[in-house]
Amino acid sequence: MILINEHYLKLKSSYLFADIARRVTSFQEKHPDMEIIKLGIGDVTLPLPKACLEAMHKAVDEMGKSETFRGYGPEQGYAFLREKIAEFDFQARGAQIEPDEIFISDGAKCDTGNFQELFAQNITIAVPDPVYPVYVDTNVMAGRTGSFTNGRYEGLVYLESTKENNFIPELPKTPVDLIYLCFPNNPTGATITKEELKKWVDYAHEHKALILFDAAYEAFIRDEDLPHSIYEIDGAKEVAIEFRSYSKTAGFTGTRCAYTVVPKACMAYDQSGKKHPVHELWNRRHTTKFNGVSYPVQKAAEAVYSPEGQEQVKTNIDYYLENARKIRTQMQKLGFTCVGGENSPYVWIDGQMDSWEFFDLLLNKAGVVCTPGAGFGKCGQGFIRISAFNSHENVEEAMRRIEKALG
Burial class (CB in 10 A: 0-12, 13-18, 19+), 395: buried
Amino acid at 174: T
Per-residue pLDDT tens for 251-297?
999 999 999 999 999 999 999 999 999 999 999 999 999 999 999 99
Contact 221, 194 (CB under 8 A): no
pLDDT digits (tens, 9 = 90+) for 54-105: 999 999 999 999 999 999 999 999 999 999 999 999 999 999 999 999 999 9
Q: What percent of the chain has pLDDT over 70?
A: 99
Report the distance separating Cα 196 and Cα 331, nearest Å: 28
Q: Are residues 343 and 223 in contact, defined by beta-carbon separation less than 8 angstroms?
A: yes
DSSP 237-265: GGTEEEEEESHHHHSGGGT--EEEE--TT
Residues 197-212: tens digit of each pLDDT: 999 999 999 999 999 9
Can you list the domains of the chain with their CATH numbers? 6-47+310-406 (3.90.1150.10), 53-307 (3.40.640.10)
Instruction: State the Cα–Cα distance between residues 296 and 28, nearest whole angstrom.
Output: 38
Which pTM was predicted?
A: 0.97
CA–CA separation, 219 vs 71, rounded Å?
32
Express each pLDDT in 356-400 by its tens digit.
999 999 999 999 999 999 999 999 999 999 999 999 999 999 999
Cα 160 to chain centroid distance, Å, stands at 18
User: Is the dihedral angle over the CA atoms 122, 127, 129, 134 positive or is it negative?
Assistant: negative
Phi-psi region of 83 (alpha: psi -120 to 50; beta: other; left: phi over 0): alpha
Backbone dihedral region for residue 153 (phi beyond 0: left; psi -120 to 50: alpha; all else: beta): beta
Query: Where residue 19 falls among pLDDT bands split at 50, 70, 90?
Result: confident
